[in-house]
Amino acid sequence: MRVLMVEDAEDLAEGVIAHLARAGIVCDLAPSLEDARDCRAVQRYDAIILDINLPDGSGLSFLRSMRAAADRTPVLMMTALTSVDDRIEALDQGADDYLGKPFDQRELEARLRALVRREADSKEEQITLGMLHYAPKDRSAVLNGRRLDLTRREAALLDMLIRHRGQYLSKARLYDSLYGFEDADVGVNAIELYIARLRKKFAGSDVSIVTSRGIGYRIGFDD
């Protein structure tokens, strides 16, 4: 999962980004609306965390412009404005959820996952792919009756492949789902390492990751 946080309080943002990273969620930071527009011009996000009071305008105007353009990216408002009227206004403008400051990091993470699940193409509690049984809720996988021991990034990569099963995903797209802008020193070829690790864990099963040269990777199984 990759999210954009539009927030000008640097200390708060750093804490959120660090917590989400430990949970396997990539979070880019935009301290202003202009920065947020720049980020969205080059990157797709699964969800947006949006403050209302920003240095160059209101987060609500940003939200309105998104919805006017038929952009349905889930938006979680996160602000110190916590009155009932403030919540109603944000929800009426198209926000999907609202979290007041201060907040518990675990609640923020849970709300983000709930928003993304709600928008996901698949509503399945468990996805079965041959011998592989995958639970999107906690990114756990069982292969031929044995639970796979997955690292955070292996789980994130498997999640992307399974959610787009049947499609080839380019190395660049997979990279974007695993790394944020702050990880610019990590090369895109790191994806090959994680693909190799997953393939090793699938060895001896009917599940495989197929490579199409110049196109990308696709997960599948031998039926």
Which helix H or strand E contains 174, and what residues bound it?
helix 171-178
Q: How far apart are CA 144 and CA 185, in angstroms?
A: 37
CA angle 87, 91, 92 (to 5 degrees): 115
pLDDT in tens, 132-162: 999 887 788 999 989 999 998 899 899 889 9
**Domain match, 25 and 109 both:** yes
What does the pLDDT read at residue 48?
Answer: 96
**Domain match, 7 and 76 both:** yes
**Domain match, 95 and 140 both:** no
Q: Residue range 79-86: average pLDDT?
A: 86
What tokens were used for 10? Answer: 């640097």
Does the pTM exceed 0.75? no
pLDDT in tens, 17-66: 999 998 888 999 999 999 999 999 888 898 999 999 999 999 999 999 99
Q: Which residues pair with 209 in a beta bridge?
A: 219
**Domain match, 78 and 181 both:** no
Question: 3-state DSSP: the chain helix, strand, coil percent, rounded to 5?
Answer: 40, 25, 35
Q: How far apart are CA 71 and CA 112, in angstroms?
A: 17
